[in-house]
Structure formats: C-alpha cells, structure tokens
Copies of this chain bind each other. A is one copy, B any other.
Amino acid sequence: MFTIEQLAGFVAVAEELHFGRAAERLNMTQPPLSRQIQKLEKTVGVELLTRNNRKVELTSAGAGFLEDARRLLTLVQRAPLAAQRVAAGHTGLLRIGFTAASSFSILGPLLEEIAETIPDVDIDLREMVTGEQLAGLGSGELDLGIGRPPFDKDLFASRLLYREGLVLAVPDGHRLAQLHRDISPTDFKDEPIIMHSPTEARYFYDLVVKMLPLHHGNVVHTVSQILTMVCLVAAKRGVAFVPQSTALLGVAGVRFLPLESQQGDPVELHAIWSRSSTNPALTRLLESLSM
C-alpha cells in the first residue's frame, strides 16, 4: 500500500516538474522525495513520471493518477474537518420523534428554534406516540422525543417544553356550549364520552381519570389520537377532553369549552432524551436551549 505522504510528494513533483523545488515545497530534501516517488510507482505498478536527469514529465498514466491523487488528498484534508464538525455538533443528524398532538402547538416554534441553533444539522422527524419514542431513545434509533410523562428518570432526562389546560370538546350547537361558563363535572355526567385509550394514550387517560369524576358507562369510544377524538366530536358522537392547543387545529363543527377547578395547566409536553446519548448535535442543542 502506498502512503498519503507519497501522494503529496507525487502531486508536488507533478506540479513543479522538478524534484528539487517540490522537495523544498514539502520542507524536505530531494533524496527521500525521490525514494517516495519510486516506492509509489512500485506499488502502483506503473511509471508515473519520466525523468531523464534533465527533464521531468508526466506519463499518461501519471496524468490520470494525478487527478485521483488530488481527489484523495482533498478528501484526506476534509474528512477530519467533517468529523470535527460532527463532534462539535455543528453538523450531523438529529432524529426527533413527536406526538401528533405536539404538532398542533409547540413543534413548529421548536423546529424554528432548532434551525436557528444548529442550522447545519439534518433533522429527521417521525411521528410516534410517547411509548415508541422511549423505545427509540433507548435503542439509539432516536435522539430526541417530544412526548409526555411518565418515563424512567434514570434512563431519560427531560425538559418541560409546554404546559396547557384541558378543555372539553363538544359539537357546534351543543347544549353545554350555551352555558357560557366553565363546565363542571355535573354538566357532563350524562354526556356520551370519547375517551383516551388507557394503553396507547396512557398519559391522557390517567390525567382525565385523576382530575375528573367519570361515569365509565358514558364512554362510547376509546381512541389513541387527539385528532381522531376531535373528528368524532365533529361527527357528534360525543364529547372529549383534549388539550387546549387542539383548538389551534381549527376543525369545523367543534367548540372547546373551559373546565372548572383545574389546578394550573395539567397537560405537560416534554423534550425527552436518553442520558446515554452521545450525539453532539443533541448536546449542543440542549446547551443552547437551557440558556
């Protein structure tokens, strides 16, 4: 195998067509340069330069090899720089998983912020529920998740991105929409309810069950996605508890009514990442976001 130094030597000689000047350019003496070229020619198996002690010329094969040598050398120079940029988090790839509901609210502004912070990092976006996000983060297939608790605080770190209230989604013209006041549990005790799936949307299920006294007999549907819920409400199949930001969707035929007696804004959305992550782009993003 030949050496990168040999390639550099060959390019210098090919450009100067003079061993002495080439050696000077390379900060060395002629003899080792001469030997380098000889070794290079031996390993390549071809005479690259014709040199009759008075004139140095490229052979046809040498002219062709010169192009490859230049390509090789530029790549040799750039590869470490590219690696350094990746290591510094200035470039690379960030794979982000997000819940469908998060795209109604925080995802857009967050992506803008990411684009400003690490503009040269490629962003790979995948819609997935929180459970899938955690699996991806754990296996290294994902760098950042935008999801909801709970998750293992030992394995994952997080940052609260967004906090909002829960509202009641009802069809347009529904009798509760006429009240023009906050809705209390007694208001919907006889209403058909479109409920969150206890497995696929565990966060919302637990939240609603904990916050509100429900008659489980009123549940007419169990679904996993907020968007599906809103569609079913628009189809007048019942009412549903959804995060406030769902109103931003602008689905026709649905009204969003405030609920009384909420302590703070109970619906949380977190940025979640693996504590064992080594993606420098993630590190850099998190450092910038925490400022």
Q: Which residues of A contact B (CB under 8 A)?
A: 1-5, 43-48, 50, 59-65, 68-69, 71-72, 75-76, 78-80, 82-84, 86-87, 92-93, 278-281
On whether the beta carbons of A87 and B75 are closer than 8 Å, the reply is no
Copies of this chain, tallied across the complex: 2
Partner of A79, one of B69, B78, B82: B69
Chain B contacts for A80, CB-based, 8 A: 2, 43-46, 65
Partner of A61 from the list B44, B64, B65, B86 (CB cut-off 8 Å) is B86
Which chain B residues border A93 with CB–CB below 8 Å? Answer: 60
Residue A75 contacts which of B43, B75, B82 (CB distance < 8 angstroms)?
B75
- Please name all residues of chain B whose beta carbon is closer than 8 Å to the beta carbon of A47 when the two chains form the complex: 87
Do residues B2 and A45 form an inter-chain contact, with CB atoms below 8 A?
no
Shortest CB–CB separation between residue A2 and chain B, in angstroms? 7
Contact check, B4 vs A46: say whether CB atoms are below 8 A apart: no
Give the CA-CA distance A64 to B76 in the complex, in Å: 14
Residue of B nearest to A278 (CB): B59
A3-B3, A50-B278, A59-B87 known; A68+B44 contact, CB < 8 A: no
Question: Closest approach, in angstroms, between the C-beta of A152 and any C-beta of chain B?
Answer: 21
* List of B residues within 8 angstroms of A72 by Cβ: 72, 75-76, 79
B68 x A87 contact (CB < 8 A): no
A46 touches B87 (CB 8 A): yes
Pick 14 A–B contacts, CB within 8 A, sort by A.
A2-B4, A2-B76, A2-B80, A4-B4, A44-B80, A44-B84, A45-B80, A47-B87, A60-B86, A60-B280, A64-B83, A65-B86, A68-B82, A69-B79
